[in-house]
Amino acid sequence: MKLQKKFREKHNILSYNAVIFNTESYLRDKSYLIPKICLAAINAKKFNKKTKFGNLNISREWNWCDEQVKYLLEFIKKKPQDFILSNGKNFSAIQMIRFAFNYFNLDYKKYILFNDKKYLRNKEIIKKKSNYRKCLKRNKIKRINKIFGEKIIKKLIRHYLKK
C-alpha cells in the first residue's frame, strides 16, 4: 500500500488503495463464515444437523456488497487516495449465529459445535474495527447503511432457501 502511494505521488498516477472490510453477497463462497452460519441454521431446521465452527469469539464489521460498491464508486470519483470501506457496524460471530437460528426459532447451542481444531486459525484477530469515518469526512461522503447485522443474515437465508 505504501509503495503504491509513493509511486502514485511521484508519477502523478490515477490510482487508489482500498481496505474493504468483510463484504457479503449472494456470490460469496459458502465456506466463509456468514454464509456458513446461514446454511448451518437452514440445515439445523431442515435436517436437525449440527455444524462445526472454529473460534466464534470474534467480531467484524460485516457489510453488504451492493452498499460497498456504491461507496467505492463515490471514492473513485475523488482525487486518487487511500481509503477504507466499511459501515462501522460491529457484530460478533455469536450475534450473527443468533440472528440466523432465531430466523427458525431454534436454539443455536443445540446445533453448533465450537472450536473445532480443523477450523481454528493460529493468529485470529478477535476484533476488527475500521476508522472509515475519517475517509468519509475527508471526501465529504455521507454514508447511510441499510443492510447490516440481522438484515444480512435474513437476505442470505431467504436466498439459500429459494435454491
Q: What is the 3-state secondary structure (H, E, C) of 48-73?
A: CCCEECCCCCCEEECEEHHHHHHHHH
Domain that holds residue 127: 2-162
Mean of the per-residue pLDDT values for the chain? 92
Task: Give 55-119 as a DSSP string.
Answer: ----EEE-EEHHHHHHHHHHHTTSSS-EEEE----EEEHHHHHHHHHHHTT--GGGTEE---GGG
Model confidence at 120, pLDDT cuts 50, 70, 90, reads low
With a pLDDT cut of 90, the percent of the chain lying above it is 77
pLDDT band at 51 (very low <50, low <70, confident <90, very high): very high
* Grid cell listed for 41: 441454521
End-to-end CA distance of the chain: 40
CATH code where residue 81 lies? 3.40.50.720
Residue 69 has pLDDT above 90, yes or no: yes
Give the chain's domain count. 1
Q: How big is the CA angle at 158 (ends 99 and 119), to the nearest 5 degrees?
A: 55
Give tens-digit pLDDT for 19-31. Answer: 999 999 999 999 9
The pLDDT value given to residue 126: 82
* pLDDT at residue 124 greater than cutoff 80: no
pLDDT at 123 over 80: no
Predicted structure pTM score: 0.90
